[in-house]
Amino acid sequence: MPAPEDSPVRFGFLRAEEIALHKLMRRGIFTRLARAKSLFHYTSLSGFQGIIQDGGFWLSDTRFMNDSEDASHGVDFVCAVLERQLEKSRKEQYSPLFRDVLWKAKQKLKAHSGPRLYAACFSEVGDDLSQWRAYDGGMGVSLELDAYTNELAFPHIEALPTYSLGRVVYCDMAKRRIVISIVQAFWTCLSEEYKAFGEVYFTEYVDRLAQSLLRAGDLFKNSAFMAERELRIIYTEREDWQKDFHKKSFRHAGHFIVPYFKTADFPSQSDDGKPSTTPRFLPLKAVTVGPCPYPENVIESLRGFLNHHGYHQVDIKKTKIPFRR
């Protein structure tokens, strides 16, 4: 993505959106895969089976994350910061017009209206006790993925600009700075546009500000989970999402019927621009078996399954964390 000063967009909400995203990238929130050697994905055995058979990951609606507090934390935090900004703006720099933009963007976020975000979760650590505990009473595995093989015809983890990888933010001070920096970008651009033309596209400013804040907020998580060092694939659903994926699917999870997309349904192309028929192998380096009573037996079963699906060079190992009955 070009720096804002190199962009042909000089005014308006598009410029504000561009600056806001660039600020996140400079902070390392949205990151290119080449910065990491490996990514790890924790899942159950049934989830692992589906990932290998599908050749990709599930991007699920972030409103229905596994933990209810996790699902609401980002939006609640953003709205609290916006409320504080609205209180301060009565005394400080924001114009009545921009206060209206802020207020309506906050209401839009609280109502969960607008385009939805979909995510798949990863980690920078592959053998973490806090994440194995999610599979208490069940069987979990951790997939290690080679981040350097992303330059493939089929984008397993990142397909810009359709979906990208974001680093989760745990520090409240960092979250607050991110929200304020996005607000400031929109305030500056709205002020410049109004000064130049005497009017602005009010509804577009509201929608784009809310969307930018939602995109950042979906990467906010409670500091109690900092040890997870989580990253997320983020996809923003569009009205014409069929151009991005072949279909939308639904699955039962807990109390919800959750909409999701499969990265394997992202249209892949060969070098000549035609649909690719190349097998969609994941850049899978290793699989770690979580704490369990008979890890050697599990490893043997996984080896047979992976060999059957063409993954012959994957290292399969057991966790270093002891199993407690």
Q: What's residue 305's pLDDT?
A: 97
Compute CA distances 231 → 123, 153, 170, 221, whole Å. Answer: 6, 23, 11, 11
pLDDT of residue 323: 83
Q: Which residues pair with 285 in a beta bridge?
A: none
Successive 10-residue mean pLDDT values, the chain, 325 residues: 49 80 70 66 93 91 74 89 83 82 93 84 92 81 80 62 84 93 91 87 92 90 90 84 83 89 77 56 93 93 96 95 82
pLDDT attached to residue 8: 46
Instruction: Compute the distance between CA of residue 224 and CA of residue 202 in angstroms, rounded to an integer.
Output: 38
CA–CA separation, 200 and 202 (whole Å): 6
State the amino acid at position 290 in one-letter form.
Answer: G
What is the per-residue DSSP string for 201-218? Answer: -HHHHHHHHHHHHHHHHT
Rounded (10°) CA dihedral 159, 132, 309, 272: 10
What pLDDT is recorded for position 71?
67
Distance CA 296, CA 292 (A): 10
Q: What is the reported pLDDT for 260?
A: 92
Angular region, 12: left φ>0, alpha ψ -120 to 50, beta rest: left
Q: How far is CA 261 from the centre of its chain?
A: 13
Predicted TM-score of the model (pTM): 0.83
Ranges of each domain in the chain? 4-318
Predicted local distance difference test score (pLDDT) of residue 247: 85
